[in-house]
Each structure stands twice: as structure tokens, then as C-alpha cells.
Amino acid sequence: MNRQNPSQNDPVNDPVNDPVQDALDPNSSNLDANDPNVARDPVCGMLVDKRTAENTLSPTVGSSEDTLYFCGADCKADFERDPQRYGYANF
């Protein structure tokens, strides 16, 4: 019995080209976690390009913490509501 893959040639059911799955991918930009221009969002864990990040947060003066980078405004707002929840005290 020769069965054809139902998603073959079907863009709606193709998991490789699924825009919903792409949106859920925490590294859809194929960023390298070891690149010094890449940071990890402390809320959701998504990799963020520091050079293009629109949502950042600087630590208080005198803190040993680094600037934080967020994937979006929602993650930044969640962090600002309770930084201790994410292991940070000096923001």
C-alpha cells in the first residue's frame, strides 16, 4: 500500500512552512546564542538581537547587572511589574 503524505504539496498543512509555528519559534531569526550581539529575553527566553532590539531596560546606577533586552513590550512590562520573579533586584 502506497500512501502519500497528506501534508505533501499542501501549504496549509505543511509543518515546515507553517506561519503559526514560525511565530512560536523562540529563535525564528536563527540567532546564535554565543554571538555577543545576541541576548536572551529574561521573561520568555527568546533570543534577541541587541542591535535592533526596541525594548530594553538599563539597571540602576551602580548595579553590576547588564542592560536587559526583551523580545517585545509585553515581556518588558511583565518584567517591570516584578523583576524579582525573574531573578533581578536592581531594576
DSSP the chain: -----TTTT-TTS-GGG-HHHHHH-TTTT---TTSTTEEE-TTT--EEETTT-SEEEPPPTT--PPPEEESSHHHHHHHHH-GGGGT----
All 3 cell numbers of residue 59? 539597571
Taking the model in full, what pTM does it have? 0.66
Beta partners for residue 49, in sequence order? 38
pLDDT at 7: 44
Q: Supply the pLDDT for residue 53.
A: 94
Q: Give the tens place of pLDDT for each residue, 23-81.
A: 555 555 788 989 999 999 999 999 999 999 999 999 888 888 899 999 999 999 999 99
> What is residue 62's predicted lDDT score, i.e. its pLDDT?
83
